[in-house]
Structures are given as structure tokens and as C-alpha cells.
Amino acid sequence: MKLSRRLEAQTLRKLEGSLFIAPWVFGFLTFVAFPLGFSLYMSFHQVKITVNSVQYTFIGLKHYREILIANGSLLYEELFPFLRESAMMIPIILVFSLLIAILLNLKFPGRTLFRVIFFLPVIFSSGQIVQEFIAQGEGSLSIMETLRIDYYLQEYVPGAWAAPIQKVMGSFVLVLWYSGVQILIFLAGRQTLPAAVYEASRIDGSSPWSTFWKITLPGLVPYIFLNLMYTVVDLFTFPSNPIVSRVNTTNYGSSSALAWIYFTIILAFVLLTLLLYSRVDKSLSGSKR
């Protein structure tokens, strides 16, 4: 009797869990899995929309060959500069967010107000607002014109990197503006570190600089990689992304192929981030032992 009751209780719990997760499963299959699969199907076909129906003509890897080989300018002239720009924006966002989070964790008058100020742009800024902001020439650093940084970049920096650096510095304020979520995550992570560890460090005579490198930074490693993952995904879906605008065309077959190529690149960045995190985590675990 007891065994049968236990089995009935386990079955009931599994049924309850399945019922709770069923809406998510249904939504994922309907709104995510099916569109993904269908876009993969269209990437191998020439899609033609007629008055009465939609015609699919199988052409194999033609769209992929055109994008990667025949029409490689899309990748080499637009995507690669964007990747270089992202490679510079990511560390700027992470370092700025970490420093601001550490400052906002200190006790000072108006701390709550400053926390709200740094997070407000995340709530009010949408893709259209940011595009309009950039179109009006806002967000640039006036020091670039004063010190003629553009001239020195063109003279002494290779052209492949000069344009991305110039673009990052031209929208530097927007880069800092998009750090709200990262600041919030770093702030939450900083508050998980026990105060007793910092108290023991002060008693031992450790300097603030030493405390940061030996306590704060190692303790925030999981949050650093969480923010790194979030920033990578956020930048690859940024409104000014040149690939996103190319995907939204009426040539559904070619757009689907481009979307899958772009998805593969994003997935490679995410997997590289996870691999880097696993290596660092193992290294820190070994040092603790």
C-alpha cells in the first residue's frame, strides 16, 4: 500500500509538472521550433509567391554559395567590420558595467536614485529610438573633433580596424547607455559576496586594489561570463546591425540562408564563450584546492 501510494504521488507530481510546462512547450513548438525549421526548409528552395499559392523549387545550396562565394561582399564588407566593432564594444561595456556596479554598491547619499538613472535607458530606449538618436548625430564624443582623433586613426591604424574604432567612438555614449542590464547583474553578483570576507581582508591589512583582484573579481567570474553572453547576443541583435536589415527582404530563400549563416556565427561566439568560461572555472577550482 505504501509503495503504491508513493508511486501515485510521484506520478501526480510528474503530471503537475508536465501541465505547468505544457504552455511553454506548446509556445516553443509553435512560435520558435516551427519557424526555425521552416526557414531552414526555405533556405534550400527558391520561393515564389503567386496569387493562388506559394511555390517552392528545390535548389540545394545555391543560396549559401551565392552568399559565401559569389556575393561575398555582404560578409566581408558589412559583417566583418561589424564583428570587429563588436569585439571592441564588448570589453568596453563589461568593464564600464563592472566599475559602475562596484560604485553603486557603496553606501552614499542618493544611491537608489543613481541606480535608477543607470537602468532607465533600458526601459525607455527601443530600437527605433536608438536609430533616430544615431541618425541625429547624438552619442558621439566631441573630443574626437577637438583632438583630431579621426585623422590619426586614418593615418596610423590599418583601414580594417580604423573604421570600426571610429564608429565605436562615434557612438560611445550609446555603448555606455546600453550597459543597464549588465550593471544590474554585476550589482546583484557583488551583493552575493559575503561581507565577512572583506572584513577579514581589511583586518589582514589588504589594500582595496588587492581586495578587488583577489576577492571581488574571482567572486564575480560567473556574472562576468553571464554578462558576456548577454552582451554578445544583445550586440548581434542591435538595431544598426547590417545583417539584420539584409535578412528582412522579400527574397525568402536567400534571406533564410543568410539568417542561418548569421545564426551559425552567433552560435560559434556563444560556444566560444561557454568554452572560455569552463576553462576559467576549472582553473579557479584548481587554484582553490
Condensed to tens digits (0 to 9), the pLDDT of residues 186-219 reads 988 988 888 888 888 888 888 888 888 888 888 8
Q: What is the CATH number of the domain that holds 204?
A: 1.10.3720.10
What's residue 115's pLDDT? 80
Same domain, 38 and 119: no
Contact 185, 227 (CB under 8 A): yes
Same domain, 39 and 76: no
| CA 118-241-186 angle, 5° bins | 30
Same domain, 225 and 270: yes
Same domain, 120 and 197: yes
| pLDDT of residue 126 exceeding 60 | no
Closest CA to 31 of 42, 41, 40, 23: 23
In a domain, residue 250? The reply is yes
Same domain, 27 and 81: no
Same domain, 186 and 276: yes
Give per-residue pLDDT as tens, 65-85: 888 877 666 667 777 777 777
What's residue 83's pLDDT? 79
In a domain, residue 222? The reply is yes
Same domain, 119 and 38: no
Least confident of 4-8, 26-30, 98-102, 201-205: 4-8
Q: Give the residue-averaged pLDDT of 270-277.
A: 85
Same domain, 11 and 112: no
Q: Residue 161: pLDDT band by 50, 70, 90 thresholds?
A: low
Average pLDDT over all residues of the chain:
79
SS3 track for the chain: CHHHHHHHHHHHHHHHHHHHHHHHHHHHHHHHHHHHHHHHHHHCEEEEECCCCEEEEECCCHHHHHHHHHCCHHHHHHHHHHHHHHHHHHHHHHHHHHHHHHHHCCCCCCHHHHHHHHHHHHHHCCHHHHHHHHHCCCCCCCHHHHCCHHHHHHHHCCHHHHHHHHHHHHCHHHHHHCCHHHHHHHHHHHHHCCHHHHHHHHHCCCCHHHHHHHHHHHHCHHHHHHHHHHHHHHHHCCCCCHHHHHHCCCCHHHHHHHHHHHHHHHHHHHHHHHHHHHHHHHHHHHHHC
What's residue 7's pLDDT? 60
| pLDDT of residue 137 exceeding 80 | no
In a domain, residue 26? The reply is yes
Q: Give the residue-averaged pLDDT of 34-39.
A: 89
Number of domains in the chain: 2
Closest CA to 224 of 86, 99, 88: 99
Q: Residue 44: pLDDT band by 50, 70, 90 thresholds?
A: very high
Alpha carbons 132 and 8: distance in angstroms, whole number: 60
In a domain, residue 206? The reply is yes
Same domain, 20 and 96: no
| pLDDT of residue 94 exceeding 80 | yes
Same domain, 196 and 258: yes
In a domain, residue 155? The reply is no
Domain that holds residue 182: 70-125+178-288
Alpha carbons 260 and 64: distance in angstroms, whole number: 9
